[in-house]
Chains A and B, each alone.
Chain A
């Protein structure tokens, strides 16, 4: 497996929506390289015949009755929002118009 470098971290930080300074990118790249190296044996541990486990104790088709249960009022749902207007979350422009 390829080692993780500074450009990878910059790309991943963009995907994860975390701004990072040049210094932070350098440090993170070094730390992640060590961590990734330490976990690489995992890819050789299991053969193709081993199924994946996503959940330790799987439950399938967990349904409930199709009735309205407890719901939050708009006021409750907006109570922790940094900004709201007219019973809606208020955000800056979605698209960069520039």
Chain B
């Protein structure tokens, strides 16, 4: 019998072993997480990682797994390795039987008539879905403050942001409210929240995980990926959700590599790891830079060859991203028109035409950041500006790809800090959209080029004691390299810390209570 407090801190891999060995049941595990959610997520000063908790269905799936295991035989043998391990799903991904809001008022109360492909795959693996996690509205933001349902709080410091857009998924995992979660990453929305919450997040190669059922922001940049507390756990989850899907026409036909085996390689001897000159130094917080240097030192000691590469066109990446992404978003979000789903708002006076209903619906249903991006995208795509903006940005995309190609001729994997700073305070950058956008400066190049990226905890910044993320980048279709290097670096860092970084996080239960008492 394991104490619940201990149970919720186990990795998904360890939980899977205990479930298979019959040392714990999936109902016990799932209930322990639901209890944790009830204890720390709600209330005025709770983490607010979840927009919807799916207790009944999660427990039913858990009971089903337990019954199959108890009965034994072929069906029990055929259970997926993660069967019975609970998971949280970012509320941008559609699910039958639970609401999907995308963090927006325009979809409040909407239920999808179909499951996303990744959700179908979770169901096939019999992983209980704990609920849907908070996000910036339509995944537009770097702090989760643009959610129409209130911000998520960072479990390390409840007055700070958990990153975004997938702050809910990262905070849920960091606060031990779930062992695993799904995120989506358009410009860093999996990796940057991972960095500021001391968790692991992976943006797979573009097209290697189906986007069917992920509400689209920017279709040529969006990618679903795993969120977890360990590198191996992300590999296990990536293996569940990855692989070709005929329902997504951008889905790569390639077979999925053995990512779990890659995470268990255990060596970086002889690997060439490239520091990107443009993605550290000036503009990066000192504590971030120090932890980045620590990781380089550990990799060097472990036998990796550290080289320096230059990607001169990365200086244009942020600008190109903030033209391409809003352009695609303005087109993708045109479907929220008060006709087929979600909110409909009628104009207060004047003629009741469909155009005016659309205008009133979108005015009331969308938040400020979504409106900003739609207007910016409409501008970038408008006649007379198209070549100068969208066209130029697409050319920069080619240049960024060429920079990556050149870098990967001298390095097997690239490395940088995931974000220039640690978690900032709630509200600190809310009135300055441009300052908010700068958080994504190190993560955006991977989305523009379609290459995979992983963020793992690199330690705590000296000046504020908050988590720092280390980003690894690999060539397209070489996600396995991220898991290989990531797992080695993780084990070297944990040996130095004497345990996982999250063990150094303040006790959240007391934190929530203290805040409420104030």
Contacts and interface: CB of A to CB of B under 8 A. Distances in A.
Nearest to B364: A19
Interface stretch (B21-29, B169-177, B381-389, B491-499): B381-389
Interface in B209-230: 220-221
A89 B340 contact: yes
Interface in B336-387: 337-344, 346-347, 351-360, 362-363, 366, 371-372, 374-376, 378-379, 382, 385
Contacts of B372: 28, 31-32, 35
Interface string A30-65: 011011101111110110001111111101001010
Contacts of A9: 375
A77 B388 contact: no
Interface string B48-67: 00000000000000000000
B77 to A, nearest CB: 30
Contacts of A54: 220, 394
Contacts of B362: 16-19
Mostly helix, strand, loop or mixed at chain B's interface?
helix
A22 interface: no
A45 B399 contact: yes
Interface string A54-98: 111101001010000000100011011111000001011111111
A: contact size bracket: 35 or more
A65 to B, nearest CB: 10
Question: Which 9 pairs from chain A and chain B are nearest by CB?
Answer: A56-B450, A46-B395, A82-B344, A52-B394, A80-B341, A39-B319, A19-B363, A19-B359, A53-B397
20 contacts: A13-B375, A14-B359, A16-B375, A16-B378, A18-B359, A19-B363, A32-B376, A35-B433, A42-B323, A45-B399, A46-B392, A52-B391, A52-B394, A56-B449, A59-B249, A72-B113, A72-B114, A81-B340, A94-B353, A94-B354
Given A45-B392, A56-B220, 5 more contacts: A12-B375, A56-B450, A82-B344, A89-B339, A94-B354
